[in-house]
């Protein structure tokens, strides 16, 4: 089962721009190219309650007061950093919505179990032969 594509409306995104410490030389000292994107998971209309709960569980380490924050300063331009942050948010939310695969219980084969026991027995025999007999 694949996760659906998430479309987060622009109105739900909050942007903050600051000076970046990345590439750009002297240009970087005068322009606000670093992008901080905030998106409130609690207030969004893009996800239903079940999807919000799944995202909340999967991204709990990234949530602060119900808000996901993504920072991008890898590019020299604010525009490209905005695009990168937006793309990372979408990928993050979509990957969090993918349901976990159920583990199919398996058993160790009899042959593998026998090989394990034989190896233990051989190792024990080697150690026993090292001992000094009184």
**Average per-residue pLDDT for the chain:** 86
- pLDDT per position as a tens digit, 23-47: 667 776 778 888 999 988 888 888 8
Domains observed in the chain: 10-97 (3.30.160.20)
Task: Judge contact between 71 and 34, C-beta under 8 A.
Answer: yes
State residue 112's pLDDT score: 97
28's CB contacts (< 8 A; 6+ apart) are 19, 20, 21, 22, 76
Q: Which of 8, 14, 13, 18 is nearest to 78 (CA)?
A: 18
The CA-CA-CA angle for residues 87, 69, 54, to 5°, reads 80
Q: What is the tens place of the pLDDT at every residue in 67-86?
A: 899 999 888 888 999 999 99
Give me the pLDDT at residue 54, please. 86
Count of positions (residues) in the chain: 134
């Amino acid at each position: 089962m694949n996760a659906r594509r998430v479309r987060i409306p622009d109105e739900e995104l909050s942007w903050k721009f600051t000076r970046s410490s990345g590439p750009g030389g002297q240009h970087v000292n005068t322009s606000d190219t670093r992008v901080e994107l905030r998106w409130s998971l609690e207030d969004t209309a893009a996800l239903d309650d079940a999807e919000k709960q799944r995202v909340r569980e999967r991204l709990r380490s990234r949530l602060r007061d119900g808000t996901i924050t993504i920072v991008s300063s890898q590019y020299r331009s604010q525009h490209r950093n905005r695009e990168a942050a937006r793309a990372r948010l979408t990928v993050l939310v979509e990957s969090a919505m993918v349901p976990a695969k159920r583990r199919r219980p398996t058993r160790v084969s009899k042959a593998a179990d026998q090989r394990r026991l034989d190896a233990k027995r051989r190792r024990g025999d080697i150690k026993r032969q090292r001992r000094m007999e009184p």
